[in-house]
Structure 1
Amino acid sequence: MTPSVFDPTAATLPADPHSYAGGSPVRVRHLALALAVDFDQHTLAGTVTWHLANPGAATELVLDTRDLTIEAVETLDATGRATPTTFTLGPPDAILGQALRVALPPTATAVHIRYRTAPHAAALQWLAPEQTAGTEPFLFTQSQAILARTWLPCQDSPGIRFTYEATVRVPAHLLALMSAKNPQALDPSGEYHFRMAQPIPAYLMALAVGDLAFAPLSNRTGIYAEPATLPAATHEFADLENMVAAAEQLYGPYRWERYDLLVLPPSFPFGGMENPRLTFVTPTILAGDRSLTSLVAHELAHSWSGNLVTNGTWNDFWLNEGFTVYFERRIMEHLYGREYADMLQVLGRTALHHTIEEIGAASPDTHLHLDLAGRDPDEGLTEIAYEKGCALLLTLEALIGRPRLDAFIKEYFAHFSFQAMDTATFLHYLRAELLDKEPGLEARLNLAAWVDGPGLPPNAPNKTSDRFAAVDQTLGRLDLGTDPADLRPATTEWSSHEWVHFLHGLSPTLTAEILAHLDEAFHFTTSGNAEILAAWFPHTIRDGYAAADGAVKKFLLHVGRRKFVVPLYQALLATPDGLARARAIYAEARPNYHSVTTGTLDSLLAARPARD
């Protein structure tokens, strides 16, 4: 590419509407954290010391908190001398929590806070031994989008970065891990020390504590999991080093030293979370055939798009996820071929169409650039950011070719490494580096319709899959009355993606008898593959296939991944007796779910009229 004509110093990021600190002139630069983990009380207690980037810029430091008990606050001068200072907590807001305002004398260079979390802190999930794969309790955090403030007072904005060090004390028989340089073996003292030398935003702060073991996969990759889960996990993720190498070939060096995975208990609410150096993943991707590892490719891609160059506010979330989905599928294509990646593109486009239909094609929530002020930013974590964002890049690829787009993306990651990016600044950069150099290119791209327009623009490239076309032929045979048992020879080499496409293609009006024949032929109800179960169960619920009812309940009691459980509860609610059934299952299952999941389901299953 030609030398950049873009001047990043001319860009000013907007204030973050989801952080009290978003407009504060005093920013944090380094965190020293000391915590004790109390499994009996379900609390974290300790101190944070925030070293300030520009302490003289104002007379107070503003931090985000939610449901924290602030016990004492001191300021530190350049010599480390501590002086008690005054602080106030603002009025509580259901979404944002409370602003913590700390008075800063002119000599202050750091702020030291003693605090403790609440047992119900939204970021923390405390699991009893029976909720794990072993015999010990487990703790994990989920800080995205704005839940870091529920376990440490911080400037909880994706546009504010800091380095950190931490000391964490846990029961001596448990291992502690963070989004940092990690131990690989148990320390009998129960005290662990961590360091993160690369600056990160607060939503990438992460902590996990449990009965964990480690298995290396290469000199920079490995797997942490409960001992019972570790063998299956190391088999499933054997290609991890190849994924990292493929990503580097595409868009430049991996900048975070190690890339390890932590396989969490099944209550984890997401497929994965891209915590630097230690991606958290759900055990629901342990399919046994490595067919669901595109999720890991997605989280790995975040090491560039998201962790390296980060959305400045949650209104710009598409800049994280759109690039990541595109990158993920390029990795999978590199490793497993174009036909494999085509299946992922088709599945993603189908999910996007469903989301647009659900939200409403004219809704501003189908724009890439969102306005989430006054709302929980989780409302923006939809397929719009992921799949519409990816579709924009696919459209640009079709217009300028892969080599030019790859060069642009690689330079973009290098140019803005460890910086925040908002939509306006990105569009400025895109125009300067690509669009303005070719007359008419922006008009052909139809950029405004993508970023600030509803739905999916008409110039989005159509995605097809030869392997799914073969699945469709099998579905056609089924529609013509072929016995399901006679379809088995055509399905012997199918991946999880082909099975999911098959199940999504089934008629929504099948009888319970036909479902029984399908189940006898393909054993869907007893599958160990969560993606297949999640695609099969809506049919069994809707069409009254009672033989699967026990498996549905078992799945909902065991799995907390929001992507799976929310549609299943919705399917239950669409049946005549579904409200009572859904509430009964939820009452039993709710303790197994993280607050990210219960926040959705509490609303979904609130008092509502029964179906006629």
Structure 2
Amino acid sequence: MTQPPEDPYLPGRPAGGLDVDRYELELDYRVATNRLDARAVVHARATRTLDRVSLSLQGVRAGHVLVDGRRPERWVHRDGRITIRLGREVLAGTSLAIEVRYGGQPHPARGPWGEVGWEELEDGLIVAGQPDGAPTWFPCHDSPADKAAFTFTVTAEAGYEVLANGRLVSRTPRAGRVRWVYDQPEPMAPYLATLQIGRYQRLVHGTQLLAPPRLLAAAEHDLARQPAMMALFEELFGPYPFAAGYTVVVTDDVLEIPLEAQGLAVFGANHMDGRRGSERLVAHELAHQWFGNSLTVGSWRDIWLHEGFACYAEWLWSERSGGWTADRHARSTRTRLAGLPQDLLVGDPGPAGMFDDRLYKRGALTLHALRLTVGDDVFVELLRTWTARYRHGTVSTELFVACASEVAGRSLALLVEDWVYRAALPELPGSSGTVPRLG
């Protein structure tokens, strides 16, 4: 049968003809040797008539594959993809349970965005899957549009804290090892699935904190205003999206940037200086729980809907907490961007431009231009309508324009087009200093 074309933003990952409902992952991990032995069951439905399916898995080896409890006609694991010949045609809507047993020493995937996925730390590990690192530790239909529920059963040595997405269901010590079970019922894109293992102390003060003992005091200080951030974002964006709450992990290692995952964020030791030097990043990662994790783009071309919103949330927090207003941030940022090359289309940046800082900032400027155009009351109504309508769903720029225009009672398509689909940098509406602090 003819395979669908590849997504240019995820080379090597054609649509596999599957819509995954749930991943069940059983992971047995040895920290000292970075050895993983695992079993995954992928519960999915065929999206079209097909006689074969494929899942992405790289860096470890599949050793056994079953479909609905039986051996398929043939399967092969090559070039980061498990291709399974079913031996029969199945119709669209047919349910399939694909079991894969696999193992090895996982490592990050190297690609256009550097090293992503499974990564050993000095004493533990982190998983940072954005945008294509999920297949480094479990077989998956690696598309941000295919969101599914997850169950994680993880066994590791005693003395380590283990964290995965969702609610901790059980923690069972057994012969020097501990078995942890987490359940993530809200749909989640594969790249947002994560595993964090380290010698952390776990504290719960509304939100949860995992940090090495030596960094605990600095982390508590630097995250002290996070509850106020949460209150502001719930006021502006609507209720926090995930039942298990929010967790911050602080590693004992230096990280280049913080890492987002569904229901949590990971910061390096360098981000917790005891002086709130990274507070804008704390706001940025928290905002991703709404924009990126609950509302997830179906194609990476629309990544500004994640990063532009999270960047604008930094400015909103600054505005609320007594720092610069969002308008001052916006006009300063526009002045700086005007001196940079105007060769990036925010609405289709290409793989090389997905994480360009200009996309983040110009995405935020798009939102500020909308706010200046429709006024604060309509702008907040727009944000809350957007997050409620597509809660735990898949979004696109086209859907955002339609939602914004509906709430505003007039078409905003040309405004968004100027900021998102044209390279030239538009002027912001209004004059500097005329916009009051929101709320």
> TM-score normalized by structure 2?
0.85
CA distance in 2, matches of 1:351, 1:117: 47
Which among 109, 125, 148 is matched to residue 119 of structure 2?
125
The equivalent of 1:263 in structure 2 is: 250
The equivalent of 2:418 in structure 1 is: 449
In structure 1, list runs of 5 or more residues that go unmatched. 1-13, 93-97, 129-136, 466-612
1:527-606 superposed matches below 5 A = none
Question: Does 2:391 match 1:406?
Answer: no
Question: Does 2:195 match 1:207?
Answer: yes
CA distance in 2, matches of 1:108, 1:186: 32
- Would the alpha carbon gap of residues 461 and 86 (structure 1) be closer, same or farther in structure 2, given more than 3 Å must change? farther
Report the Cα offset of residue 28 of structure 1.
1.2
The equivalent of 1:576 in structure 2 is: none
**1:327-384 deviation per Cα after TM superposition (whole angstroms, max 9, x unaligned):** 23223422x1253656755675576457xx2xx32x2xx1111253xxxx36411113
Report which stretch shifted further, 50-59 or 274-283. 50-59
Question: Does 2:368 match 1:368?
Answer: no
Aligned to 2:154, the other structure's residue is in SS state strand
CA distance in 1, matches of 2:331, 2:160: 43
- Would the alpha carbon gap of residues 119 and 65 (structure 1) be closer, same or farther in structure 2, given more than 3 Å must change? closer
Which among 218, 231, 239 is matched to residue 217 of structure 2?
231
Verify the 8 A CA contact 1:391 1:461 in the aligned structure 2.
Answer: no
Report the Cα offset of residue 118 of structure 1.
4.0
Report the Cα offset of residue 66 of structure 1.
2.5
Report the Cα offset of residue 196 of structure 1.
0.4
The equivalent of 2:394 in structure 1 is: 420
1:266-277 superposed matches below 5 A = 266-270=253-257, 272-277=258-263
Which among 137, 149, 154 is matched to residue 140 of structure 2?
154
Question: Does 2:221 match 1:249?
Answer: no
Aligned to 2:364, the other structure's residue is in SS state helix
CA distance in 1, matches of 2:426, 2:47: 47
The equivalent of 2:437 in structure 1 is: none
- Would the alpha carbon gap of residues 324 and 265 (structure 1) be closer, same or farther in structure 2, given more than 3 Å must change? same
The equivalent of 2:152 in structure 1 is: 166
The equivalent of 2:112 in structure 1 is: none
- Would the alpha carbon gap of residues 339 and 21 (structure 1) be closer, same or farther in structure 2, given more than 3 Å must change? closer
Aligned to 2:214, the other structure's residue is in SS state coil
CA distance in 2, matches of 1:371, 1:302: 20
1:93-112 superposed matches below 5 A = 98-104=80-86, 105=88, 106=90, 109-112=96-99
Paired letter, 1:25: G
The equivalent of 1:42 in structure 2 is: 34
Paired letter, 2:348: L
1:49-60 superposed matches below 5 A = 49-54=41-46, 57-60=49-52
Report the Cα offset of residue 462 of structure 1.
7.2
Verify the 8 A CA contact 1:44 1:117 in the aligned structure 2.
Answer: yes
CA distance in 2, matches of 1:333, 1:160: 36
Paired letter, 1:101: T
CA distance in 2, matches of 1:22, 1:332: 42
The equivalent of 2:114 in structure 1 is: none
Paired letter, 2:33: Q
- Would the alpha carbon gap of residues 100 and 119 (structure 1) be closer, same or farther in structure 2, given more than 3 Å must change? closer
CA distance in 2, matches of 1:274, 1:119: 20
Verify the 8 A CA contact 1:55 1:108 in the aligned structure 2.
Answer: no
Aligned to 1:170, the other structure's residue is in SS state strand
Aligned to 1:190, the other structure's residue is in SS state strand
The equivalent of 1:594 in structure 2 is: none
Verify the 8 A CA contact 1:184 1:213 in the aligned structure 2.
Answer: no
Aligned to 1:391, the other structure's residue is in SS state helix
Which among 56, 65, 68 is matched to residue 60 of structure 2?
68
Aligned to 1:193, the other structure's residue is in SS state strand
Paired letter, 2:364: C
Paired letter, 2:221: H
1:312-327 superposed matches below 5 A = 312-327=298-313
Q: Which has the larger radius of gyration?
A: 1
Question: Does 2:418 match 1:430?
Answer: no
Which among 322, 338, 343 is matched to residue 337 of structure 1?
322
Aligned to 1:228, the other structure's residue is in SS state helix
Question: Does 2:19 match 1:27?
Answer: yes
Question: Does 2:333 match 1:383?
Answer: no
Structure (1 or 2) with the greater strand fraction: 2
Question: Does 2:186 match 1:198?
Answer: yes
Verify the 8 A CA contact 2:144 2:298 in the aligned structure 1.
Answer: yes
Which among 145, 162, 177 is matched to residue 189 of structure 1?
177
CA distance in 2, matches of 1:453, 1:307: 27
Verify the 8 A CA contact 1:63 1:101 in the aligned structure 2.
Answer: yes
1:455-534 superposed matches below 5 A = 455-459=424-428
Report which stretch shifted further, 287-296 or 16-25. 16-25
Verify the 8 A CA contact 1:143 1:205 in the aligned structure 2.
Answer: yes
Report which stretch shifted further, 150-159 or 377-386. 377-386
CA distance in 1, matches of 2:251, 2:118: 13
Paired letter, 1:450: W
**1:484-529 deviation per Cα after TM superposition (whole angstroms, max 9, x unaligned):** xxxxxxxxxxxxxxxxxxxxxxxxxxxxxxxxxxxxxxxxxxxxxx
CA distance in 2, matches of 1:263, 1:279: 9
The equivalent of 2:293 in structure 1 is: 307
Verify the 8 A CA contact 2:171 2:178 in the aligned structure 1.
Answer: no
Paired letter, 1:50: V
CA distance in 1, matches of 2:40, 2:357: 36
Structure (1 or 2) with the greater helix fraction: 1
Report which stretch shifted further, 147-156 or 114-123. 114-123
Report the Cα offset of residue 448 of structure 1.
2.4
**1:167-212 deviation per Cα after TM superposition (whole angstroms, max 9, x unaligned):** 1111122121112224898956321111101110011011111101
Aligned to 2:417, the other structure's residue is in SS state helix
> TM-score normalized by structure 1?
0.62
Which among 175, 189, 194 is matched to residue 161 of structure 2?
175
Paired letter, 2:306: N
Paired letter, 2:120: W
CA distance in 1, matches of 2:155, 2:303: 34
Aligned to 2:347, the other structure's residue is in SS state coil
